[in-house]
Amino acid sequence: MTDINAFIDDQVKNNDVFLFMKGTPDFPQCGFSGQVVQILNYLGVEFGSANVLESEELRDGIKAYTNWPTIPQLYVKGEFVGGADITREMFQSGELQTHFEQAGIAVKQSA
């Protein structure tokens, strides 16, 4: 396992909710990353994040890790949930809130 794969694996497995995104939660640098941050903040879910713009190795590594071509990428309890479109659709249907609750993650609000 390469260093970047070890870093990704560590973040995914040691954080209940983790978001690989462009920018930071306080300053998203793409609209899709911003949407996922807004959803997580609305639900009051605590999450870790990594800015893929800081490292080309991380940006390429996360795409290879999941075999998913786009960023952001949301993980819950070590499981890849999806990108912005999937996260938004799950949120709008209530499925995301249910997913968090079934994973034992507190949700402060529902849609």
Cα–Cα dist 23/35, whole Å: 12
Q: What percent of the chain is helix, strand and coil (3-state, nearest 5)?
A: 50, 15, 30
28 phi-psi bin (left φ>0, alpha ψ -120 to 50, beta other): beta
Does 30 belong to an annotated binding site? yes
Cα–Cα dist 87/83, whole Å:
6
Q: Which residues are annotated as a binding site?
A: 30
Annotated binding site for [2Fe-2S] cluster: 30
